[in-house]
Amino acid sequence: MRLLVVEDDPIIADHIVSGLIDIGHSATLARTGSEAIRAMADQAHDAMILDRMLPDIDGMSVISHMRSRGDSTPVLMLSALGSVKNRIEGLQGGADDYLAKPFDVDELAARLIAIARRGAARTEQTSLEVGRLQLHPSSHSVAYREASAALNRKQYSLLAYFMCNADRLVTRAMLIENVWSYSFSPSTNIIESNMSRLRTALQEIGCDPIETQRGAGYILRAERCA
Amino acid sequence: MRLTWRIFRGPARLDRLAIQLGLAFAIAMVTVGMVGFSLADNWVSSRIDTSLRYHTAKYLSEAGHGPGEDARLQAKILEWQHRKVLSERTYVLFDRTSKRIAGRLDITPPPPGFSDLRFTGGGHNYQIGRGLATRLPSGSLFVVVQHSEAAMSLHALLPIVVLIISLAALILGLSATLLFAHLTAKRLSETQNTAAAIAAGDLSRRIPTDRLDGMFAVQAESLNRMLDHMEELVRAQQLFSSNLAHDLRTPLTRLRSLLEKASREGQSTFPSLMERADRECASIISIFDALLRLAEIETGRHPTAMSAVSLRPLIEDIADTMEPVISDHGGTLRVRRLDDVSITGDPDLINQLLINLLENVATHTPPGTSATLSLEHDGGSAVIVVRDDGPGLAVGDFARVTQPFERGSAVSSGGGSGLGLAIANAIARFHRGSLDLTDATPGLVVQVRIPANDSAHHSDAAEQSAL
């Protein structure tokens, strides 16, 4: 993806740009709000990583300027201001996602892919079928070939989220925000315990396509559902 | 003298205040005097006018109407003059050519009706009288004049009375204000001394109330209560900072040790050291996240998040989430009675409250500890109970553990951020509710009570089966 990174702190900017380039993206750096506006006018980008506090124009004003010009490039707002109120302000101001500092580059990349694809797939119909793995909303059950298993509400929601994001990294924070809708981070292994139950159910029907990415999150591999 | 000087030089500028109040008092008194004088003057004038009207009517009636009226009036006036040598009242009759034909008073004919007349009483000084002139059918003008010594004296007295009242009021007003200022300053000096001592760092100082009475005593007591509360807050803040520093020191020291170890050892151990360092960073960040959350809740969070929350589905969802966690800890999580109760609240915060309570069971109790969750509608409140069969807490710890960074004496310092129960307690208070800990022997019962939205509920005590 072609990404625009707007960050004034040189160490954090270098950390983000090099991290994104390492995982195969192309990243351009803007150090101020006005540089970001010029960069967006010069060239189209797949997504923008925008620091909220910038030396000249703040991040909220950059989004407001972009949106007023009809620019719908997905924006991930990055900020040291991480309270629920700050997040709500950022999202209501036009950001597509909000990540508080300090952060992990894998987390940043996973969220960027999610918001970039969400924008492209807005008109697509969400499918609950990946290969031969099927999820039935009415019975909260999962089926693979001839076998099927019942899931509880959490296991169902977890699998649905993975199937909607097949072949993409899904981080713990993304699961907490999207499956549980929590704005806090539980200190126990809520994710691991629930994932373990889900994967046991999937193994029972002969198809566990979920792969653990150590320290980063999980990926549901579509090829394993064939 | 010294105190008076202090009053004048004081920050409240009592000198200017005294003059302003004295002037205000003088103006008020002068106004009252003038209004009183004006009322008296009006009353005397009204009595004179009534008298004039009465005597005009009496003379005209006695003289009778028709031809010869003027002559009869003339005769009556002459007869009255013979009879009365001294009188405040005089009668004058002018013929149609304005020539005086009866009466001794040398005045110019006034217009018909009431008027003030200037005349000389035989000397050089002018006097003022009140007259009522009546035009007769013959064209003659009959005038009754009354000269009131009382009214004249009243008018003459006015400037002196106003001046005396103003001076007296000014002196009295200034004296009263200075006395009041002196007494107030005397009473406030203790408060000022206490404030100065507190500003200098002595938080234990209080305003002495034994020499105060009335509103000063009430105010001093109220300020003392505020100072008690402030001292408590400052002490809590100091304790909080010290606990925070202690709690951060441990992961930071571990982090530093790991970094030093990484610089000493070879590349082979580097990945594992980095992973451990990353965990220490995560632990530090989680403490700050929890602190931010606590501050957010205690400062009122965002009011737009408040809505009607049906607790039963929320608790069922949490049970689904936490059952595998408790199970991985070797225990079970059972849901018991669940009433249909709705509250006005922030669902995200209620989720956090319950997750925190169940996480405490999973992290601060021995493996194999089981827990139960229940929800009841009780006396206008929703009552959520989390009960475990672990070792519980010492009764003396119940109040302390709901404070930030305070842990039960049996819990090791490494378990959790030390903010879980403080956040749960803050969330309960944010919802105008309470969080109470009780001993379950064995185990601990945490009861959260939050005002319910209405009394409509179904107390179908549904014993839920194990998950």
A102 neighbourhood in chain B, CB within 8 Å: 281, 285
Contact predicate B391/B368, CB 8 Å: no
Contacts of B365 (CB under 8 A, 6+ apart): B329, B331, B388, B390, B391
Q: Do B289 and A184 touch (CB under 8 A)?
A: yes
Mean pLDDT of chain B: 82
Tokens 């194990």 label which residue? B466
User: Looking at residues A94-107, what average pLDDT do you find?
Assistant: 89
Take residue B416 and report the two structure tokens written for it.
């959790």
Give the residue numbers in A contacting B (CB under 8 Å), as ranges: 82-85, 88, 102, 152-154, 180-190, 193-194, 196-197, 215
Kindly report the nearest CA distance between residue B432 and chain A, in angstroms.
21
Cα distances from B218 to residues B183, B203, B208, B232, B314, in angstroms, run 16, 21, 12, 21, 49
Considering only CB atoms, A85 lies closest to which of B286, B296, B321, namely B296
In a mutational test of the B interface, the residue from A99, A187, A197 whose CB has the highest number of chain B CBs within 10 Å is A187
| Whether pLDDT at A33 is above 60 | yes
pLDDT per residue as tens digits for the range B289-344: 888 888 888 887 666 678 899 999 999 999 999 999 999 999 999 999 999 999 99
pLDDT per residue as tens digits for the range B168-185: 877 887 788 788 888 888
| Whether pLDDT at B1 is above 70 | no
Q: What pLDDT is attached to residue A119?
A: 54
Considering only CB atoms, B355 lies closest to which of A186, A193, A196, namely A186
**ipTM surpasses 0.90:** no
| Whether pLDDT at B415 is above 70 | no
User: Looking at residues B340-355, what average pLDDT do you find?
Assistant: 93
Lowest mean pLDDT among A16-20, A26-30, B261-265: B261-265
- Which has more pLDDT, B203 or B409? B203
Kindly report the nearest CA distance between residue A85 and chain B, in angstroms.
6
User: Looking at residues A86-114, what average pLDDT do you find?
Assistant: 89
Q: Do B324 and A193 touch (CB under 8 A)?
A: yes
Please name which of B295, B277, B229 lies closest in space to residue B427, comparing C-alpha atoms.
Answer: B295
Q: What pLDDT is attached to residue B460?
A: 42
Report residue B404's pLDDT band, with 50, 70 and 90 as the boundaries. confident
Compute the distance between CA of residue B457 and CA of residue B310 in angstroms, rounded to an integer.
11
Q: Do A153 and B317 touch (CB under 8 A)?
A: yes
Take residue B321 and report the two structure tokens written for it.
């989430």
Take residue A64 and report the two structure tokens written for it.
């407001």
Report residue B85's pLDDT band, with 50, 70 and 90 as the boundaries. low
Q: Does B298 touch chain A (CB under 8 A)?
A: no
Tokens 């010492």 label which residue? B394
Reduce the DSSP state of residue A61 to 3 states and report it: helix
Considering only CB atoms, B286 lies closest to which of A183, A187, A196, namely A187
Compute the distance between CA of residue A169 and CA of residue A175 in angstroms, rounded to an integer.
11
Considering only CB atoms, A187 lies closest to which of B296, B328, B417, namely B417
Lowest mean pLDDT among A23-27, B63-67, B296-300, B406-410: B406-410
| Whether pLDDT at B376 is above 90 | yes
Q: What pLDDT is attached to residue B123?
A: 65
Kindly report the nearest CA distance between residue B345 and chain A, in angstroms.
15
- Which has more pLDDT, A79 or B30? A79
How big is the CA angle at B101 (ends B97 and B106), to the nearest 5 degrees? 95
Q: What pLDDT is attached to residue A64?
A: 92
Compute the distance between CA of residue A180 and CA of residue A111 in angstroms, rounded to an integer.
17
Considering only CB atoms, A153 lies closest to which of B320, B322, B417, namely B320
Report residue B410's pLDDT band, with 50, 70 and 90 as the boundaries. low
Q: What pLDDT is attached to residue B130?
A: 86
Kindly report the nearest CA distance between residue A181 and chain B, in angstroms.
8
The whole-model pTM stands at 0.66
Compute the distance between CA of residue B425 and CA of residue B298 in angstroms, rounded to an integer.
10
Q: Does B322 touch chain A (CB under 8 A)?
A: yes
Contacts of B122 (CB under 8 A, 6+ apart): none
* Pairing verdict, β B141-146 and B89-94: antiparallel
Tokens 């989390």 label which residue? B386
Q: What pLDDT is attached to residue B413?
A: 45
Ramachandran quadrant class, B432 (left: phi over 0; alpha: psi -120 to 50; beta: rest)? left
Q: Does B286 touch chain A (CB under 8 A)?
A: yes
User: Looking at residues B389-400, what average pLDDT do you find?
Assistant: 80
Report residue B466's pLDDT band, with 50, 70 and 90 as the boundaries. very low
* Pairing verdict, β A75-79 and A97-100: parallel
Taking CA–CA distances from A100, the nearest residue in chain B reads B289
Kindly report the nearest CA distance between residue A42 and chain B, in angstroms.
38
Q: Do A190 and B321 touch (CB under 8 A)?
A: yes
Kindly report the nearest CA distance between residue A24 and chain B, in angstroms.
22
User: Looking at residues B269-275, what average pLDDT do you find?
Assistant: 82
